[in-house]
Amino acid sequence: MQYIDNIIFLIALVVGFGLFFRSLKEIYRNIKLGRPIDRTDRPGDRWRTMAKVAMGQSKMGKRPIAAILHLFVYVGFVIINIELLEIIIDGIFGTHRFLAGIMGDSFYGFFTATLEVLALLVIVAVVIFFIRRNFYGVKRLTMKELFGWPKQDANWILIIEFALMTAFFTMNASDWVLQQRNVLAAHGSFPVSSNLLAPLFSGLGDGTLTFLERGAWWFHFLGILFFMNYLYYSKHLHIILAFPNTWYANLEPKGKFKNLASVTAEIKLMMDPNADPYAAQPDADPNAVPEKFGANDIFDLNQVQLLNAYSCTECGRCTAVCPANITGKKLSPRKIMMDTRDRVEEVAKVINKNGKWEDDGRKLLDDHIQREEIWACTTCNACVEACPVLIDPLSIIMEMRRFLVMEQSAAPQELNLMMTNVENNAAPWQYNQADRLNWAKD
Amino acid sequence: MDFTIKTMAEYAAEGKSPEVLFWVGCAGSFDDRAKKITRAFCKILNKINVEFAVLGPEESCTGDPAKRAGNEFVFQMMALTNIEILNAYDVKKIVTACPHCFNTIKNEYPNLGGNYEVIHHTQFLKQLMEEGRLKIEGGSFKGKKITFHDPCYLGRGNNEYEAPRMLLEKLDAELVEMKRCRTNGLCCGAGGAQMFKEPEKGDKDINVERTEEALAETPNIIATGCPFCNTMMTDGIKHFNKNTEVEVKDIVELLAEAEDL
Ligand code: SF4
Ligand code: SF4
């Protein structure tokens, strides 16, 4: 029976990681529901962008307080993962503080001390984040599109992180007291827990302390597994997806919108004076599905746009700078991203249930995103500029406009007038093209 | 105008080609306020002997408003027509006073067969200044306060924030920045074809919000680099009844004024 711990540990480990990889696979499958897009050009620039924006957090600097707190949590998270490595080794082989043997006592002391300081900073950050989000009223964090799950999600994450860090300190403090009493071999240095927590523990017996140490160790381990699997349901997926998302980001100038190639062929034919308008196109494939212009559902969006939706952290920086939103219009670029992810999840549920996609009679446009939102955008790119993980809400808005105009002729009346003018008079107003040089005569 | 504006057709008839094609744009051609910007720019070019031509009646809308409204058909119809004409004249360099024309021709025409060096008028004047061809003495602006409204399609759209500011700095005025400027600049509300429709329901209009922000700096002049921004900000100061105290002027109008043109 002496290996029972190790066996339970192994099972938890395998189940935890197994479920996690299953979620990742499902996300991958869902992203593949979008149209393919080639974003593999300029790999050098892409790696650089990822290093700068995702690893270097370069876009966070605009809001220094949030940036510093976020940095604490981020660095803390990275380092905790190294500690997870030790937990896994200890758990499988039944060792205690395995890394001490590899690192040597003085370096291990430095390592554990660093972890403690970072864990304390994480606690500080998490507490401030919690207060800021719930009581302080930062507008972008308290808007009504966050009511319900998004708000709970954000709070849960903060609570889980707080609990994990508390367990970490409990573990270290009891360990340290036991080390002082020579019950455990002395490894590591614990500046935070030996000073803050250990005095509370010094009255406890060896058995209780051992129980506390083990309990916290298990809590910490199982907590991390839980957290990992919670990600799939959470905006916190960004801690993983921010990396591919920044890699696949648009590197072209933001003002440059894509030209639809299918339209080009048609217009060239129209404009060619020698073309016989009644002749069948030579390479026309009789079975070809006519291409749909723009998007009214996630299947018409491209894979990067769906990846964007999963990467969105719901921070609302985009919405906070959106001129339409600032002036009280319905448009919120964050909501566009949240709606897109919700719709992907809706579709995924159907696929999981039926084994394949069957039309559920719902669409991203109209059932999630309203036309009023789509028409309020000034295409100013403020949202794109603001996003810390390089998400492009504007590209989704544009695809929906294309759908409304080219598939449904459902533009607002004034825009129809403008487009007719452009078509007939080569200007958005009703002026005569022949008068284009009249300004030179005044 | 007290000099003649030559067209590409006229240059071609003489068997010559100008240094640069001035793309006037729809607003610059037809809108009474924007026409003043067009003329001011021509006066500067004429004064320093830059040979330029316009397309005149051969110019069409670039297609920008149609494209941003979602109508790729009308956009490409315009684009391909324009490209055919530009290529027929073998145009190499295009300057325009409209960031929307600038962005569209620069970024969206190449993929349709239109490859030109495209620059915004503030970039062109900056170039001319650096080459020593344009000299600006802005003494008449001493004691004035100017604030500059970044056009989205020049700034965020194409990363040009410095050229307009460099020109304004030559004016001997005090240049003040609004709270939201450069990458954080707030849209005037006209882009994305919003110019041509009523805004969606909200608490206020975008141009009012933006003008309010500009007026908070108590400027004498709000400088613009886009005919649509110009209209929006002009409407904005009228909204606040400030049109007698504050002027909304394109940068080239200010430069022309400095040169007494
Ligand atoms: S591009 Fe559209 S959605 Fe984005 S900030 Fe500007 S107006 Fe808002
Ligand atoms: S799109 Fe970007 S800026 Fe907007 S909420 Fe999502 S992560 Fe934040």
Tokens of B67: 């494209």
The CA dihedral of B136, B134, B30, B234, to the nearest 10 degrees, is -20
Q: For chain B, what is the mean pLDDT?
A: 97
pLDDT higher than threshold 70 for residue B185: yes
Q: What is the pLDDT of residue A297?
A: 98
How far apart CA A294 and CA B45 sit, in angstroms, is: 42
Q: Average pLDDT for residues A199-222, to the nearest whole number?
A: 95
pLDDT higher than threshold 70 for residue B243: yes
Q: What is the pLDDT of residue A280?
A: 55
Helix (H/G/I), strand (E/B), else coil: B174: strand
Does residue A323 belong to the interface with chain B, where contact is any CB pair within 8 Å? yes
Of A268, A372, A419, which has the smallest distance from its Cβ to B74's Cβ? A419
pTM, to two decimals:
0.95
> How far, in Å, from the CA of A155 to the mean position of ligand 1?
28
pLDDT higher than threshold 90 for residue A79: no
- The residue of chain A nearest to residue B191, with distances taken between CA atoms, is A378
Q: Find residues 197-256 of chain A whose CB sits inside 8 Å of chain B.
A: 252-256
| Greatest extent of chain B over all pairs of C-alpha atoms, in Å | 57
Beta-bridge mates of residue B23: B96
Nearest ligand 2 atom to the CA of A319 is 4
Q: What is the pLDDT of residue A83?
A: 85
Query: Which of B43, B156, B200 would you mutate first to test chain A, the one with the most A CBs within 10 A?
Result: B200
A 10 A CB-CB count for A135 gives 8
Q: What share of chain B is helix, strand, coil (3-state, %, to 5)?
A: 50, 10, 40
Does residue A406 belong to the interface with chain B, where contact is any CB pair within 8 Å? yes
- The residue of chain B nearest to residue A418, with distances taken between CA atoms, is B196
pLDDT, one tens digit per residue, over A11-27 is 999 999 999 999 999 99
pLDDT, one tens digit per residue, over A110-137 is 999 999 999 999 999 999 999 999 988 7
Amino acid sitting at position A190: F
pLDDT, one tens digit per residue, over A390-435 is 999 999 999 999 999 999 999 999 999 999 999 999 999 999 999 9
Residue ID of nearest Cα to ligand 1 atom 5: A322
Q: Average pLDDT for residues A228-249, to the nearest whole number?
A: 96
Q: For chain A, what is the mean pLDDT?
A: 94
Amino acid sitting at position A293: F
Q: What is the pLDDT of residue A129?
A: 95
pLDDT, one tens digit per residue, over B41-94 is 999 999 999 999 999 999 999 999 999 999 999 999 999 999 999 999 999 999
Contacts of A408 in chain B (CB under 8 A): none
Q: What is the pLDDT of residue A281?
A: 54
- The residue of chain B nearest to residue A59, with distances taken between CA atoms, is B183
Does residue A326 belong to the interface with chain B, where contact is any CB pair within 8 Å? yes
pLDDT, one tens digit per residue, over B130-173 is 999 999 888 899 999 999 999 999 999 999 999 999 999 999 99
How far apart CA B32 and CA B42 sit, in angstroms, is: 16
* Distance (Å) from the alpha carbon of B219 to chain A's nearest alpha carbon: 22
pLDDT, one tens digit per residue, over A182-193 is 999 999 999 999
Instruction: Give burial (CB, 10 Å; 0-12/13-18/19+) of A217.
Output: buried
pLDDT higher than threshold 70 for residue A288: no
pLDDT, one tens digit per residue, over A242-283 is 999 999 999 999 999 999 998 998 898 888 877 665 655 555
